[in-house]
Amino acid sequence: MPIKIDHTDRRILALLQRDAMMSVDRIAEEVSLSRNACWRRVKQMEAAGVIRGRVALVDPVAIGLSLTVMVMIRTNAHEPDWLRRFDKAVRELPQITGAYRMTGELDYVLRVRVADMADYDRFYRALIERVPMSDISASFVMEEIKDTTELPV
């Protein structure tokens, strides 16, 4: 059930996007609400799916995943079976951190996190083994200038 998001809700969302572990008391103080009113708003946004979950953001370099790869895919296959196989592969391969169906010349773009070139090669082989593609190419990220999960609320 859709809910109307007002200015106060947006302020709450901005705070939670920066620190999902922030206490309700602290959020309430920041947005000038009572603790209970703030808690109700957060719970309402969770129930409506505005807040989809709370996560810990892990530094990929700290866990050995220092290489980001943008994988561009073109395919001649658009049948339901191919789409199911592709969707299944995307969801099963944990190296894929983002997958997008595109307009224009590309059909799909994948954001992939791996340790190094050898790890990317293993990923590449696992992907093409699961689903045939007309053309697949990769661009390796040299510098991450901005990478955020925060939406402009």
pLDDT in tens, 110-145: 999 999 999 999 999 999 999 999 899 999 999 999
Q: What is the DSSP string of 53-105?
A: ---PPP-TGGGT--EEEEEEEE-S--SHHHHHHHHHHHHH-TTEEEEEE-SSS
Q: Which helix (H) or strand (E) holds 37?
A: helix 35-47
- Assign residue 42 a region: left if phi > 0, alpha if psi is -120 to 50, beta otherwise? alpha
Structure-token pair, residue 82: 């191919």
**pLDDT at residue number 2:** 78
How far apart, in whole angstroms, are the C-alpha atoms of residue 74 and residue 109? 9
pLDDT in tens, 23-41: 999 999 999 999 999 999 9
Which sign, positive or negative, has the C-alpha torsion 46, 63, 148, 31?
A: positive
**pLDDT at residue number 1:** 61
What average pLDDT does this structure show over 43-66?
96
Q: Are 99 and 90 in contact (CB under 8 A)?
A: yes
Average pLDDT of the chain to the nearest whole number:
96
Residues 6+ apart with CB under 8 A from 11: 30, 31
pLDDT beyond 90 at 74: yes
CA distances from 89 to 49, 56, 82, 97, 130 (A): 26, 25, 10, 12, 6
What pTM was computed for the model?
0.88
Residue indicated by tokens 């992939």: 112
Task: Identify the structural domains of the chain with CATH numbers, from first to last.
Answer: 7-47 (1.10.10.10), 61-140 (3.30.70.920)
If you count them, how many residues does the chain have?
153
**pLDDT at residue number 149:** 92
Residue indicated by tokens 């200038």: 145
